[in-house]
C-alpha cells in the first residue's frame, strides 16, 4: 500500500472521555497554547473540564463539541508536524468542523466559535423539544427506514446516521423513538442501544438551530479546502467554499452519510485512514465498510511520539 492515499477522519459527539488531551497538554507547548486560547474565547476553563471533568459536565453538548474539536485539531497538527499529512478528510457530524479546520477552510479560532455556538444551540433545542437517538445494529437500511415510517405517526423520526451496513442510528421525538426501538427488537435487530445525547440530532427537531448557525457561517469568509473534504450530507468530496458552507448548514437536519463518504474516499484512492481524535468508533466502522482499508486511531501523545 505504499502508493495508497492517506485520509484523516475525525470523530463526533459521544467519543469524549474525561482525561482526553491531558497527555498532549503536558507534552507540547503548542497544545497548551491552544487550550489557553480556547479558554479565552469560550470564557471557561475547557482544559480543566476535559482533563478532570466532571463527566456530567463534559457530556453537556455545549462543552462536548468544543472539547472534541480542540482535541482532534491538536492531534492533527502534531501528526502533520511528524510529516503525516492527509490527501483527503472527513468528519462524523461535529467532526466535519475539525476536518474543515485542518483543510484550512477556516481558522482554528473561527471553527471553535462555530462549534461552541452549534453546541449551545443544539443543547437548547434539545431542552425545548425533547428527543433522543438510538443505534440499531443488525438490520438493513431498508428495514430501518420502513420501521421508522411505521413508528413515526404524526411525530418526528428519521435515520440520523448511516454508519456501516449493519449499524444505523435513528433520531426523533421520545415517543416515536421508543416505538421504533420496540419494532426494531421485534424485527430481529441484534442490538438496539439508546444513545446518551441531549436531543434528536440530525432530525427536523434541530431546524431551529439552522438559521442562527447559518448566520454565523455566512458572516465568515470560507477559503477553498486545501484537500478534498467529504460531506456528511452527500458523501461526496468538495473543495469549493460555497459548496462546503451550504452542506455544513444542511448537515444539522440531514442524515450522516458515513458509508458513502468512506466508500467514496476509498474509490478516490484512500486505503490508510487515521482516526484523529478521541476513541476508535470510526476505525471500527471503516473496517466494517471495507475489509481492505487500514484504519488506525490516533488519540494520544504516545501514538504521536513514536513516529
Active site residues: 93, 202
Tracing cell 452527500 back to the chain, one arrives at: 234
Tracing cell 455544513 back to the chain, one arrives at: 248
Tracing cell 479546502 back to the chain, one arrives at: 225
DSSP H/E element including 276: strand 270-276
Q: CA torsion angle for 137, 140, 141, 142 (degrees, to 10)?
A: -140
Q: 3-state DSSP helix/strand/coil percent for the chain, to nearest 5?
A: 50, 15, 30
Q: Which residue, 98, 28, 96, 90, is CA-closest to 67?
A: 98
Residues 6+ apart with CB under 8 A from 76: 8, 10, 98, 102, 276
CA distance 47 to 201: 26
SS3 2: coil
Cell matching residue 231: 460531506
Amino acid at each position: 500500500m505504499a502508493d495508497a492515499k492517506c485520509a484523516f477522519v475525525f470523530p463526533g459527539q459521544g467519543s469524549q472521555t474525561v482525561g482526553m488531551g491531558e497527555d498532549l497538554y503536558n507534552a507540547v507547548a503548542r497544545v497548551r497554547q491552544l487550550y489557553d486560547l480556547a479558554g479565552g474565547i469560550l470564557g471557561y476553563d475547557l482544559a480543566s473540564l476535559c482533563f478532570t471533568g466532571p463527566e456530567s459536565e463534559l457530556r453537556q453538548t455545549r462543552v462536548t463539541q468544543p472539547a472534541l474539536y480542540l482535541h482532534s485539531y491538536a492531534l492533527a497538527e502534531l501528526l502533520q508536524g511528524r510529516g503525516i499529512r492527509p490527501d483527503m478528510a472527513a468528519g462524523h457530524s461535529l467532526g466535519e468542523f475539525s476536518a474543515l479546520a485542518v483543510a484550512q477552510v477556516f481558522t482554528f479560532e473561527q471553527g471553535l466559535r462555530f462549534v461552541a455556538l452549534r453546541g449551545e444551540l443544539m443543547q437548547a433545542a434539545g431542552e425545548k423539544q425533547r428527543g433522543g437517538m438510538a443505534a440499531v445494529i443488525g438490520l438493513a437500511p431498508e428495514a430501518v427506514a420502513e420501521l421508522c415510517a411505521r413508528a413515526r405517526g404524526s411525530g418526528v423520526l428519521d435515520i440520523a446516521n448511516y454508519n456501516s451496513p449493519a449499524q444505523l442510528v435513528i433520531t426523533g421525538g421520545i415517543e416515536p423513538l421508543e416505538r421504533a426501538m420496540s419494532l426494531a427488537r421485534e424485527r430481529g435487530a441484534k442490538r438496539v442501544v439508546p444513545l446518551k445525547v441531549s436531543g434528536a440530532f440530525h432530525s427536523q427537531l434541530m431546524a431551529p438551530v439552522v438559521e442562527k448557525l447559518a448566520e454565523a457561517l455566512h458572516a465568515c469568509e470560507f477559503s477553498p479546502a486545501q484537500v478534498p473534504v467529504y460531506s456528511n450530507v452527500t458523501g461526496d468530496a468538495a473543495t469549493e467554499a460555497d459548496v462546503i458552507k451550504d452542506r455544513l448548514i444542511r448537515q444539522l437536519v440531514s442524515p450522516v452519510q458515513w458509508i458513502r463518504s468512506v466508500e467514496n474516499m476509498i474509490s478516490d484512492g484512500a486505503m490508510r485512514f487515521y482516526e484523529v481524535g478521541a476513541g476508535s468508533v470510526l476505525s471500527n466502522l471503516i473496517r466494517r465498510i471495507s475489509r481492505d482499508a487500514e484504519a488506525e486511531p490516533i488519540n494520544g501523545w504516545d501514538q504521536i511520539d513514536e513516529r
